[in-house]
Structure 1
Amino acid sequence: MREDGSVTDSLHDTSIRGFASDNYSGVHPEILDALAAANGGHQIAYGEDDYTRRLHEVFADHFGRDVAVFPVFNGTGANVVGLQSMLPRWGAVISASTAHINSDEGGAPERVGGIKLLTVDAPDGKLTPDLIDREAWGWGDEHRAQPLVVSITQTTELGTLYTPEEIRAIADHAHGHGMKLHLDGARIANAAAALGVPLRAFTADAGVDVLSFGGTKNGLMFGEAIVVLEPSASEGLVYLRKLNMQLASKMRFGAAQLIALLEPAADGGDGLWLRSATHANAMAARLRTSLEALIAAGEAPGLGFSQPTQANAVFATLPAGVPDRLRERFRFYDWDAAKGEVRWMCSFDTTEDDIDAFVAAIREELARA
C-alpha cells in the first residue's frame, strides 16, 4: 500500500498465462466480493457463524436435506479426513493407481491418516467393478488390511469422466461387499458441466457416501469441503477435522466463498460454479479442436493425444525437446516425460486469445522439431 492509500503494483507479470494447472489462476472477482462482504464486524469463530450455517442450507439444496458439511483448508485435507472418518484403524481404501490420494498427496493418507491404499492400474483413470475386485478380497484375514472403502475421482486425474450410471454400478458393487464409496471431487463442477446434470446426479443419487467437494480449482482463494451424504458411512468428523489441523477459526471466510460459488445467480441464470466450469471446459475443447485441425492439415508433426478431452484437461504427446521449448513461453507439466506425454489445463479465466496464442506456439515448435 502506498502512502496515498493506493495499491502497489503486482509483484508478478499479470500478462503471463499458463496451462499447467487450474490452481494457477487467480480468484474469481465474485469470490473476492464475497470475501469483502463477509469481512465486516465480528462473527463467532470455529463454524458458529451465520455464513457456515447458510452453507449447510446451500449444500442441502444441491445434494439433499440430510447432508452434513465440514469446510476444510484444502483438497488433501478433505480426502484424508473424510477417508479417516469412513474407516476403522484396520481399514484400507481401493483406488486407481493414478488417484490423487496415491500419487499427489505426499503420502498424507498413509502417514497422516494411517490409511492403507490398495491401488489398481486403470489406463483411463476410471475404476470398474471388475478392477475393484482385483483388491476387494481377504475379508476376515487378520494378515491383510481390510478393503472397506472404494475411492474414485470425478473428473479423474486423466481428465476422464464417470457417467452417473458408472458411479451407481461402482456404488452398488462396493455396498454389496460391505464397502463404502468415497468421491474425490476436486473438479466436480467440471464434471457436472460436461455431463449436463446436477451435482447430486452422480453423487447422492448414485450412491456416493462421502464427498470431497473442490472449489480452489474453480475460482476460490482457498477451501474445500467434506460432504457426508450417507450419515452412517462417516463417524467422528467433528473431532477428526480438528485433530488433523483442518478446522479454521475464521470459518466464515471459507464458507462465504463456497456460498458465492454454489448459490443460484441473482438473475436466475447458472450459478458461478457452473458458469466457471463450463467456460473452462469450453476452452479445453477449443484447444483440442484447434490442435486436431493442425493435425488434419499436416501442420503438427508428432503431435498426438493420449486421453479423450472430456472436461478441462487435454493430455497430449509431443516429440522430444518440444515440451521444454514450449515451456519457455507457457508453463505446463510433463505427465510422463519418457513418453513425451504432457497435460494442459484450462481455467475459469482462460481466454480464447490464450488458446490461440498457445496453439500458434505449439505449431511453431513442432515445425522446428
Structure 2
Amino acid sequence: MSLHDIARRGFASDNYSGVHPEILDAIAAANGGHQSAYGNDVYTARLQEVVKGHFGPDAEAWPMFNGTGANVTALQSVLPRWGAVVCAKTAHINVDEGGAPERVGGLKLYTVETPDGKLTPELIDREAWGFGDEHRAQPLAVSITQSTELGTLYTPAEIKAICEHAHSLGMVVHVDGARLSNAAAALGVGFAAFTTDAGVDILSLGGTKNGALGAEAIVVLRPGVAQGLAYARKYTMQLASKMRFVSAQLIALYEGDVWLRNASHANAMAARLRSALEGVPGVEFSQPTQSNGLFVRLPAGVADAVREHYFFYDWDAATCEVRWMCTFDTDADDIDAFAGLVKDACAATS
C-alpha cells in the first residue's frame, strides 16, 4: 500500500523521483544468499571494471551512501589538516551541506562569487594565494560542480584549463558530480573527456539524482592522490556493511546506457519546458538551460499560485527567482500541464 499520492508530480528536485525499474531489479537480483561485507563482494569488484570502462584503467571506485558524504570524504582524503578548498559561492559544499565540510571534514572553504556557478583560473586566483603563510589555511584544492548548481556546464576545455592552472599551483582538483550524467549527456561526450582526460584528480559520482535508490561513489582518477581514503570512509560513517546493494545500483546505472537514457530524457524535458515558456510575458530565465535545471524569475504571486498544483523551490525569494528541476520520470504531459499553469498565472497578474 502506498502512503502517498503516486499521481502527484513536482519540479522541486531530481531527488523527488522514485527509483528506475532496472535499478530496483538489480537490487532484487543482488539479494539472497550471502556475500562478504564491507565491499569484499563480487558486485563491488564488478563496479571497479565498470568505472574503469568510463574513466580509464587507473580509476578506482569507492561506493558511498550520499553526495555530501562523498564530497566531504573525497576532499578530506586529498588534503592535509591545514588544507583549504576554493569553490564557487553557490557550490553545494558551501550552500547545501549543513557545514559538513567544516564541521565533519575540518576544511576551510574559500568561496568565490561567479555569475554562472562556474570557476575559471582567474576566479580561482582570487583565493589561491598565501602559500607558505602559516596564518592562512592553505588553498590546496579546487572543487567544481558538473553540471553546476545553476544548471550550467563546463566544457572539457574549461575544466582542462582549471586543472592545469590548479596543478601549477600545487592544488588538486575535485569534481562534485552529483549530476555528472546530465553534463555528459548534454555535452555529447563520455565522462573521461571532461574528467580524466582534462586532468581531474578525484570526483564524486552521482547516482541518486539519476534514478538510483541511494548510491554515490568517490572515483579516484590519479593513483596516490587520496591517501587514507579507506580509513576516511569509515570514520565519516560512509562504509556500507552490505555494500553489494550500493554497488549493484551503480552497476545497473553505469554498465549499460541507463545513465545516459535517464539523463538525456531529463535534459530534454527541461529544454521542452523552456521552449514552452520562452517569450511568455513575465517569465524571465536567469540562467541558460544547459542540463536538467531551469532558473526563472516570475511575477510576484505566480510561484505560489502554481505551487498549489506542483511543488518547487524558491531560489531567491527576494527577486521571485525559482528553480525547476526535471528528472528521468518527468514526462511530456507533466511539462505541458505545468507550462499551462505558469502561463495562466502570469496572465492573471498582467
TM-score by length of 2: 0.99
- What is the aligned partner in structure 2 of residue 285 from structure 1? 271
CA RMSD of aligned residues (A): 0.6
Match runs of 1:120-135 below 5 Å: 120-135=112-127
- What is the aligned partner in structure 2 of residue 217 from structure 1? 209
- Give the distance between the partners of 1:214 and 1:262, measured in 2 at CA: 11
Encode CA deviations 1:242-273: one digit per residue, 9 max, x unaligned. 00000000000000000000112xxxxxx100
Aligned-pair CA distance for 1:64 = 0.8
Match runs of 1:207-286 below 5 Å: 207-264=199-256, 271-286=257-272
Aligned-pair CA distance for 1:134 = 0.2
- What is the aligned partner in structure 2 of residue 366 from structure 1? 346
- Give the distance between the partners of 1:320 and 1:287, measured in 2 at CA: 20
2:107 alignment partner AA: I
- Give the distance between the partners of 2:32 and 2:224, measured in 1 at CA: 38
Aligned-pair CA distance for 1:301 = 2.4
- What is the aligned partner in structure 2 of residue 84 from structure 1? 76
Aligned-pair CA distance for 1:14 = 0.4
Match runs of 1:74-113 below 5 Å: 74-113=66-105
**Mind listing any 5+ residue stretches in structure 1 that lack a counterpart?**
1-8, 265-270
- What is the aligned partner in structure 1 of residue 163 from structure 2? 171
- Give the distance between the partners of 2:14 and 2:121, measured in 1 at CA: 30
- What is the aligned partner in structure 2 of residue 268 from structure 1? none
3-state SS of paired residue (2:78): coil
Matched, 1:335 2:327: no
2:241 alignment partner AA: S
- What is the aligned partner in structure 2 of residue 136 from structure 1? 128
- What is the aligned partner in structure 2 of residue 310 from structure 1? 290
- What is the aligned partner in structure 2 of residue 16 from structure 1? 8
Q: 1:44 aligns with which of 16, 24, 36?
A: 36
- What is the aligned partner in structure 1 of residue 191 from structure 2? 199
- Structure 1 outlier segments of 4+, above 4 Å: none
1:310 alignment partner AA: Q
Encode CA deviations 1:2-47: one digit per residue, 9 max, x unaligned. xxxxxxx210000011000000000000000000000011101000
Matched-pair identity in %: 70
Encode CA deviations 1:310-346: one digit per residue, 9 max, x unaligned. 0001111001111111111100000011011100000
- Give the distance between the partners of 2:114 and 2:96, measured in 1 at CA: 16
Between the two proteins, the alignment pairs up a number of residues equal to 349
Aligned-pair CA distance for 1:147 = 0.2
Matched, 1:323 2:303: yes
Q: 1:27 aligns with which of 6, 19, 26?
A: 19
TM-score by length of 1: 0.94
- Give the distance between the partners of 2:32 and 2:56, measured in 1 at CA: 31
Encode CA deviations 1:337-359: one digit per residue, 9 max, x unaligned. 10111000000000000000000
- Give the distance between the partners of 1:177 and 1:339, measured in 2 at CA: 38
**Mind listing any 5+ residue stretches in structure 2 that lack a counterpart?**
none
1:97 alignment partner AA: K
Q: 2:178 aligns with which of 156, 161, 186?
A: 186
- Give the distance between the partners of 1:151 and 1:31, measured in 2 at CA: 29
- Give the distance between the partners of 1:66 and 1:163, measured in 2 at CA: 23
- Give the distance between the partners of 2:64 and 2:249, measured in 1 at CA: 12
- Structure 1 stretch 63-72 or stretch 83-92: which is displaced more? 63-72
Encode CA deviations 1:96-143: one digit per residue, 9 max, x unaligned. 000000000000000000000000001100000000000010000000
- Give the distance between the partners of 1:196 and 1:40, measured in 2 at CA: 38
Aligned-pair CA distance for 1:364 = 1.1
- Give the distance between the partners of 2:311 and 2:187, measured in 1 at CA: 29
